Amino acid sequence: MPKLVDPDARRRQVVDALFRVVVRDGLQRTSLRAVADEAGLNIGSLRHYFSSQQELMDFAMQSMLDRLSGRLLQHVEHIGDLGRHPRAERLRLAADLLAELLPLDDRRRAEVTVFLDFNAAARTNPAFRELSHETTTGARRLVRRVLTRLDDSGTLRPGRDLDIETERLTALLDGLGLSAVLHPEVVSAQTCTTVLLAHLDELSAPE
């Protein structure tokens, strides 16, 4: 009797293997065969689920965005009404949410590494540009939402231009993520967290 395979579980297995290959070897050296070997599958089995590297990359990036969105929603539900928390707690909760975009542990390091490689490839590969644009604009929407909630709760200093602050904070997150992936011995997870909290504290009004 043939073994039954859960297609969704098999796709997740392949995506996890893809992430490991990209983190280890880089996107440029990632092929269907390399991913199949990493997942312990033959190339024919992998092609049953993904007919091309493009299809696999699109699915992997969308899966990463879905996972990230799920974690962010959990954070948002946990935060609830920011106004009911003391100022320091508001800043910590906002930092915890934004830290999902930083390589602070193995899972997030893999995600940020894949994200960086994917966006670099999108510069010269039109097939990746739409999804790259979606991830970039999605990050800005998240940052803007966090800043808006802080502003609505009276946490930010009066008169802040949220459009400018969105770009400033997004640039900070991008820079920390890139540096922490390329030079973790220089920019550690603790450094990322400290810098992010310091920036939010600078934006906020005194208690």
Residue 106 has pLDDT above 70, yes or no: yes
Measured distance CA(151)–CA(80) in Å, rounded:
15
| CA dihedral sign of residues 138, 144, 147, 151 | negative
Tell me, what CATH number does 5's domain have? 1.10.10.60
pLDDT digits (tens, 9 = 90+) for 44-55: 888 888 888 888
Quick one: 192 and 174 in the same domain? yes
Give the confidence band of 165 by pLDDT, cuts at 50, 70, 90: very high
Tell me, what CATH number does 93's domain have? 1.10.357.10
More confident of the two residues 31 and 191: 191
Look at residue 1 in the predicted model and tell me its pLDDT.
Answer: 42
Range of the domain at 83: 53-203
Residue 9 has pLDDT above 90, yes or no: no
The pTM (predicted TM-score) of the whole model is 0.85
Quick one: 41 and 71 in the same domain? no
Number of domains in the chain: 2
Average pLDDT value for the chain: 88
| Tally of CB atoms within 10 A around 16 | 16
What tokens were used for 161? 């231009």
Measured distance CA(11)–CA(205) in Å, rounded:
47
Quick one: 147 and 95 in the same domain? yes
Measured distance CA(19)–CA(86) in Å, rounded:
39
